[in-house]
Homo-oligomer: A and B are copies of this chain.
Amino acid sequence: MASEQKGTGGNGREGDRKSAILRAAVEVFATKGYHGCRIADVAKEAGVAYGLVYHYFKNKDELLQSVFHQGFETFSSKLRAVVESDASLAEKVRGVAEFSLDIFRDDPRTVRVLILQIARSTGNRGLNRHSAWADLIRLCVEMFQKAQERGELNPDMDPVLAAATLFGTIEMGLTAFVTGLFDAQDPEVLERAKRQLATGFLTGVLTPQSGAELEWNQDRSDTRLKTAKRS
């Protein structure tokens, strides 16, 4: 009794319940959408009492915000890591495709909510979210600008559009999985999608000089994309 670690116990339990609610919210939002679900659904899914949701979250919207944060932070930190690395543009883009689909593989529900519920929300309170995404896009724009200065990005490609297109490519790729257009169960499919997404995006964006030698397939030698140097 005396040895009861209040801190641990308290935190552990609190964390348990709170994250249970958070997980349930992801689940329910992903399934029924933000407007289509009731707090009661979340509580039931989490196996907690109705009011406890309000013990941890001020209201429904803050709950969504938290879900957003959780997912966004994961994506955001990885994106920053990749963008701020000193790899080549091609490697960075591959890295983005890589971790994006990995995140999806590991937690498709959250990605689903991010993609379908939050990314495109028009709500008035969406400012935070919007600006959050906007920050990331800006990050990418800078990446493309520098790449352009270094001669990696085609000089005719607008860096802003490049950034938007990268996000669009990634997002729609994810959407293809989210909506079931692709079989998300098969890890092979996922891996192939990574490469195709990145390479597809890259060989269009890169200067012929820097991008000429990119390989389409890296697992089987015979399916390589053989590009000869320009004269």
State whether A168 touches B161 (Cβ < 8 A): no
* Contact A168 B157, CB 8 Å, known A208-B227, A214-B202: no
Chain A residues close to B by CB (< 8 Å): 30-33, 35-36, 88-91, 94, 115-117, 119-124, 130, 134, 137, 144, 151-158, 160-162, 164-165, 167-173, 175-176, 179, 181-182, 192-193, 195-197, 199-212, 214-219, 223, 225, 227-231
Given contact pairs A153-B205, A164-B176, enumerate 7 new A-B contacts (beta carbons under 8 Å): A30-B122, A164-B173, A164-B181, A165-B172, A168-B173, A199-B214, A204-B205
State whether A162 touches B205 (Cβ < 8 A): yes
State whether A171 touches B168 (Cβ < 8 A): yes
State whether B197 touches A204 (Cβ < 8 A): no
State whether B201 touches A203 (Cβ < 8 A): no
Interface centre among A120, A208, A225, by most B CB within 10 Å?
A225
